[in-house]
Amino acid sequence: MISMNAFEPALEVIYQHVSRDFKPSAGIILGSGLGPLTEDIEQSVTLPYEEIPGLPISSVHGHAGSLVLGYLKGIPVACLKGRVHYYEGAGGDDFKMLIRLLKVLGCESLLITNASGSLRKEIGPGEIVAVNDHINLQFRNPLIGINEKEFGERFFPMDEAYNKDLREKFKKAGEALDIEVHEGVYGGVLGPNFETPAEIRAFRMLGVDLVGMSTVPEVLIACHCGLKVSVISAITNLSADMHDEPLTHEITLKYGEMASKKLRDLFKKFFELYGSEL
């Protein structure tokens, strides 16, 4: 159970490094190979997760595991550089600590990035996708258990989980940079293995456009506590049936890094144009 009181030790440490007047309007989660975006955060303070009581530690290469506080294009932000995953053994409380910390710090919006594989040939490595919906193929929910009503009601809708207004603003920011921002449905799987050919065929039949091993639990917790959510995926590979190269985590990081410049430019333009509206 993660109640409001559980965050007091974490806040005590955080406010030793930033003023209690610092109120981020947006939280950002950075996925595999996408950490360089934090280089654009000004007046930044970086706190490793292990220094903040209660925060889980990521064991995955490419997920640094630090909280970065500062300003992106003049807008106060709280950035989670690195995340945890079910396949690491993370449970519901681990996801709750990370997402609800952003809420407690004052965030009203949550902008999530991830590295994903594409099931659509026209959306290849290096492309950017704004997620418009998801299918939970992880078949678990971090909110199972006692409901912490101080954060949200037990039963909550998901028909507008992916905020349309934020998604359209990301697309307009992309247009300003001549970067195409596709739309698609995200399929969240458990991992850590990549998908079998039969699973890929099944996912396509279900309407999945891109696949990853994260994001869904974060979105569920964010929606539960009233955060506006937008998810931007960097495509790192086509599914196994559309290429001959064996798929590895190293390839995910390689193409994630290739897409990171495009993603960095997109986020900077988004905050330049719309940051004051978050």
126-185 pLDDT, tens digit each: 899 999 999 999 999 999 999 999 999 999 999 999 999 999 999 999 999 999 999 999
Based on the residue annotation, tell me whether 32 is a catalytic residue of this protein: yes
Of residues 78, 90, 97, 213, which has the active-site annotation? 213
CA atoms within 13 A on the CB side of 32: 24
Q: What is the pLDDT of residue 62?
A: 47
Based on the residue annotation, tell me whether 97 is a catalytic residue of this protein: no
Per domain, the residue ranges of the chain are 4-277
Q: What is the pLDDT of residue 61?
A: 53
Based on the residue annotation, tell me whether 243 is a catalytic residue of this protein: no
What residue has token string 């290429």? 243
> What 3-state DSSP class applies to 136?
strand
Of residues 58, 109, 230, 237, which has the active-site annotation? 237
Q: What is the pLDDT of residue 189?
A: 98
Q: What is the pLDDT of residue 64?
A: 62
CA atoms within 13 A on the CB side of 238: 10
pLDDT above 70 as % of the chain: 92
What's the whole-model pTM score?
0.94
| Tokens of residue 170, six digits | 């990301």
Per-residue pLDDT, averaged over 248-276, amounts to: 83
Per-residue pLDDT, averaged over 28-41, amounts to: 84
Instruction: Give the pLDDT confidence of 62-79 residue by residue, as tens digits.
Output: 446 899 999 999 999 999
Which pLDDT band, with edges at 50, 70 and 90, does 243 fall under? low
Please say if the pLDDT value at position 217 is more than 70: yes
d(CA 54, CA 63): 18
The helix or strand, by DSSP H or E, that contains position 210, with its residue range, turns out to be: strand 210-212
Based on the residue annotation, tell me whether 213 is a catalytic residue of this protein: yes
Of residues 49, 90, 249, 255, which has the active-site annotation? 249
Q: What is the pLDDT of residue 237?
A: 87
Based on the residue annotation, tell me whether 87 is a catalytic residue of this protein: yes
The helix or strand, by DSSP H or E, that contains position 216, with its residue range, turns out to be: helix 216-224
d(CA 79, CA 271): 14
Mean pLDDT of the chain: 92
CATH class entry, domain 4-277: alpha beta
pLDDT above 90 as % of the chain: 77
Please say if the pLDDT value at position 45 is more than 70: yes
Please say if the pLDDT value at position 247 is more than 90: no
Of residues 10, 115, 161, 222, which has the active-site annotation? 115
